[in-house]
Amino acid sequence: MGRHVLLIEDEPNITEAMRFILARDGWTVSSHADGATAVAAVSRARPDVVVLDVMLPGRSGYDILRDLRADPGTRRLPVMMLTARGQLRDRERAESFGVSHFMTKPFSNQEVLETLNSLVAS
């Protein structure tokens, strides 16, 4: 079971905190902060799971997710979306694009660990 996670998040201190807790849990952690080049970053990194923020510079997380789902190579890649917007329609939109899990900020570290472990296990 692979445990490589790519964090696509533009807030450096969130990325740093997640990198710390995931690395301590045994994960290999990569990160990327730009929405416009995020799909290419996924292709290069070939992670086992992606953590994807919704509001990113250059491109929204929804558009990135749609492209990942349209590509046969990443169609089944587990993607957990993080968003500061927790409204029902945001969640529904993410689900319609094929998100694996939707988590609203602020979240607990434990919640992130449990969800990512569950996603790669399934």
Partner 1 sequence: MARSALTGTRIRERRTLLGLKQADLARAVEISPSYLNLIEHNRRRIAGRLLAEIARALGADVAQLTRGAGAELVDQLGQAAADLPGAGAETGRIDEFTGRFPGWAALVRDQHRRIEQLQDRIEGLSDRLSHDPRLGSAMHEVLSKATAIRSAASILVETEDIDEAWQRRFHRNLQGDSLALAESAQALTAFLDGAGAARAEPATPWGELELFLERHRFHFPALEAGAPVAALLDDAAGMSAPGRSLTRAWLERYRREAALLPLDEVIAALERGQAAQARLGAARGLPVTLVLRRLASAPPVPGQDPVGLVVCEPGGAIALRKPASGFLVPRTGSACALWPLYEALGAPGRLVSRQLLHSSGSGNPVRAFAVAEPRWPFGAEGPCLSEGWMALLPQPGGDGAGALPVGSACRVCVLAECPARSEPSVMTPGL
Binding site for partner 1 (CB under 8 A): 11, 13-14, 16-18, 20-21, 24, 55, 84-85, 87, 105-109
Q: How far apart are CA 56 and CA 47, in angstroms?
A: 19
Q: How far apart are CA 106 and CA 78, in angstroms?
A: 21
Report the residue number, 18 or 52, with the smaller CB distance to partner 1: 18
Structure tokens at 36: 């416009």
Report the residue number, 70 or 84, with the smaller CB distance to partner 1: 84
Report the residue number, 47 or 61, with the smaller CB distance to partner 1: 61
3-state secondary structure of 6: strand
CB of 111 to partner 1, least distance (A): 10
* Pair 15, 31: CB distance under 8 Å: yes
CB of 2 to partner 1, least distance (A): 24
Report the residue number, 24 or 76, with the smaller CB distance to partner 1: 24
CB of 10 to partner 1, least distance (A): 9
The string of DSSP letters for 49-92 reads: EEEEESS-SSS-HHHHHHHHHHSTTTTT--EEEEES---HHHHH
CB of 86 to partner 1, least distance (A): 9
